[in-house]
Each structure stands twice: as C-alpha cells, then as structure tokens.
Amino acid sequence: MNERAALDVVGGLVAGAGDDAAVVDDTVFTIDMLHETTDFPDGTTRYTAGWRSVGASLSDVAAMGADATAAVGVYGAPDFDRSELRAYVEGALDVCEAVDAEYVGGDLDGHDEFTVATAAIGRTDDPVLRDGASPGDILVVTGALGRTAAAMQQFDSRNIERANELFRFEPRVRAGRVLAGHATAMMDSSDGLARSLHQLAEASDCGFAVDGDGVPVADELRGAVEDPLDTAVTYGEDFELVATVPENAVGAVREAADVPVSVVGEVTASDVTLDGEPLADRGWTH
C-alpha cells in the first residue's frame, strides 16, 4: 500500500488527517495494523510482536508530545494457540508498563495470517503537530537510528534471540513530553529519517539540511551493512522522534530528556539535503 497516496485521499475527506495521531479535545488517538508478511520476520516471537505492535501505537502518542494513557489490540491468527496469545499479551503489557500506560484488552479473530491491529490513547493540552517548523529551527532526533535494520540482519543470520531483543524498542513517551515544551514540529521515524523529513517539509512548507556526521547511527548497525549512514537514514521502523526546536532550546531538551538527543541539521527554506546533496524520499514501505 502506498501510504502517502492513501493519505492524499483521506486528507481530502477527513479534517486534520496527516499527523501521527488524531486530536479530540485533550485526547490523542491512533491506530495501526501490522501483518506477519510485512512486519514480523520469521523468528519474531509473539512476545516481541505484542511489544512491537503496541509500541508502534504508543510511539505515535509520543510523537504528539502526549502522556500515554492506554492501549488495546486486535489479535488475528489462523489457529488459536493459548501460549502464543498469552505471550503476545505479556509483550503488550510490558511495553505499556515501560511508558506508564495500561494495556486494557482487545479482540480476537481468525485470520489467514498472523495480523494485529493496535490502538492507543494519550492526553495533552498542547499537541505538537507536523506543520510548525520554520527556517532557523534546529533538527533533532532521539536515540539512534538503524536498530531495526540491525535486527533484520540478525533475523537473516538466524540469531533469533538477539534479533528479537533489537526488534523491541521503548516508545519515546518521556522524551516526547520533554520535547513538547519546545518543539515546533514533531513526528516519529517509523518511515525512516529521510521520508520523515520529506513529510515534515511538506507539512511545514520548508526544507532541511542534514549533517551526516551528526546522525546517530546505532552501534549494532556499524559493520553489519556496507553503508551504515544510508541505511540508518532510509531503512525506517526505528520509532525514534524527529523534531524541530528553536536553537536556544536545544540545551534544555538535551538536559531534561531521558535518552540522548542529537542535533542532525537545521530547517531551511526549501529542499531536503544530506551533506549538501539531495536526500531522496526513501523509507519503509507498508
């Protein structure tokens, strides 16, 4: 599915479509669907699937600068397996606990392949949207990029335990709350940094100049691929936060955040570049 093309359709019908989550009064709401074929490589445990799928929705809440409140999930599979379902719910419970949210239930259905749909809600009086970036703002990202790409390498090498460890991530809810006090625009990096920047540029009518030396490449990716920087920027599915902040707020954000916050570039008037060269709109395809 071409998500960008689908958004063009939905955006013409639904007011406010295009951010990581919908905003209704002081509540943010998001929903995601993940499939075995496209989202869970061979070897992914049900525990990891529960953690990752619910984590993806919680990441959308984080990208709005909201506190995470609760999540639910729909679990579909060809056959009912008690131990697999239990493992899935345990993963969902644990990722919610990691961000002080609650997993409060869901639904169960038969499906021709393992498929889950998850929804999460959060609360904020001042959500951060994608359309507020201005030239002169500083571009920052949380954590490191390339963890999921490294996980896929481990799955391919059949290092299943390590692959599952890398495939689980902590949604950046706390960092999102810190950034919410300063950010002019924000989203998560589930589609990859490159694609995220093109989406932010379109929403904010601006450009970005990225400094490759500033991009935090995950240690697990270095040595695993020929071009770690390119992979880190374009692979996607890392669920870090990508935000723009005024230059005078960078120090405060870094000091207050619970994870590293890296300066990777700045907002410009137009174009998206990496080290002065055009950065293509490449990233995760759903």
pLDDT in single tens digits along all 286 residues of the chain: 556 556 566 655 766 667 899 999 999 999 999 999 999 999 999 999 999 999 999 999 999 999 999 999 999 999 999 999 999 999 999 999 999 999 999 999 999 999 999 999 999 999 999 999 999 999 999 999 999 999 999 999 999 999 999 999 999 999 999 999 999 999 999 999 999 999 999 999 999 999 999 999 999 999 889 999 999 999 999 999 999 999 999 999 999 999 999 999 999 999 999 999 999 999 987 5
Q: How far apart are CA 152 and CA 45, in angstroms?
A: 14
Burial-class residue 266 by CB neighbours within 10 Å (0-12, 13-18, 19+): middle
Instruction: Show the tokens assigned to 7.
Output: 């958004």
Sheet holding 115-123, edge to edge: 22-24, 27-35, 115-123, 67-77, 102-110
Nearest residue to 52 (alpha-carbon basis) of 64, 38, 65: 38
Q: How far apart are CA 200 and CA 206, in angstroms?
A: 8
Residue 11 is predicted with a pLDDT of 54
Nearest residue to 182 (alpha-carbon basis) of 50, 55, 65, 283: 65
H/E segment holding residue 117 = strand 115-123
Residue 224 is predicted with a pLDDT of 86
Angle (CA) 131-137-143 rounded to 5° is 90
Residue 14 is predicted with a pLDDT of 65
Q: How far apart are CA 186 and CA 242, in angstroms?
A: 6
Angle (CA) 219-236-121 rounded to 5° is 110
Q: How far apart are CA 270 and CA 146, in angstroms?
A: 26
Cβ–Cβ < 8 Å for 175, 258? yes
* Helix, strand, coil tally for the chain in percent (to 5): 35, 25, 35
Cβ–Cβ < 8 Å for 190, 184? no
Can you give the pTM of this predicted structure? 0.94
